[in-house]
Structure 1
């Protein structure tokens, strides 16, 4: 009988500890008022977007192919180190905004299996 009691106590402790972890996680995602705030989420997204921009230098613009060759620093969101590589562009209009030698900030993401520049900003 004691063995069953021990198993029941251990099971209860596991359930209680698991619930406490979920409660702590849920509390960490709430806004100042204690409720999830869409403005908090928007600010976090905007901040993450700005922070995830990588710096690079345009080495080649291939307008007919819809591609940019960029010598870039680390791409944190893709877990890639610094290198020079070819990217597709999300919007062909981006190719008219840059020329060889331009310093840029950009966000690259994997879109349909291809590394694609989804956001681009020319630095002055």
Structure 2
């Protein structure tokens, strides 16, 4: 009986370890940054922002096209200096907050 309990504990520990390993990858990465708007395409739900390095998202300084909810683009135009929060979701970068 003690041997079976030990095996059960080991199996449970292995399952928990695998669960925690895979759970970490599911969490979306998120970071705040500032930059300059280069293009706005509300119809496609996209915004192009030139920004410095965003280390939390492992992005070097660049100009990048982000997905964005078109409702967030109200009063945002090319040339605007903005502060934004972006998230990596399933390999895509998405702006979830933005302000001038």
Shift >3 Å, 4+ stretches? none
Q: 2:84 aligns to what?
A: 106
Give the RMSD, CA atoms, in angstroms: 1.5
Question: Is the CA contact (8 Å cut-off) linking 2:66 and 2:95 kept in structure 1?
Answer: yes
TM-score normalised by the chain length of structure 1:
0.53
Instruction: Name the structure with the higher helix share.
Output: 1
Which residue is equivalent to 1:92? 70
Structure 1 runs not aligned, ≥5 long: 1-48
Instruction: Write 1 or 2 for the structure with the bigger share of strand.
Output: 2
Could you state the TM-score of these two structures normalised by the residue count of structure 2?
0.64
Distance 2:84 2:54 in 1: 10
Other-structure match for 2:9: none
- Of the two structures, which has the highest relative contact order with CA contacts closer than 8 Å and spacing of 6 or more? 2
CA shift for structure 1 position 98: 0.4
Distance, in Å, in 1 between the alignment partners of 2:35 and 2:64 is 11
Alpha-carbon separation, structure 2, partners of 1:63 and 1:92: 5
1:113 positional shift: 2.6
Matched, 1:75 2:54: yes
5+ long unaligned stretches in structure 2 = 1-29
Quote the Cα distance in structure 2 between the aligned partners of 1:82 and 1:109.
16
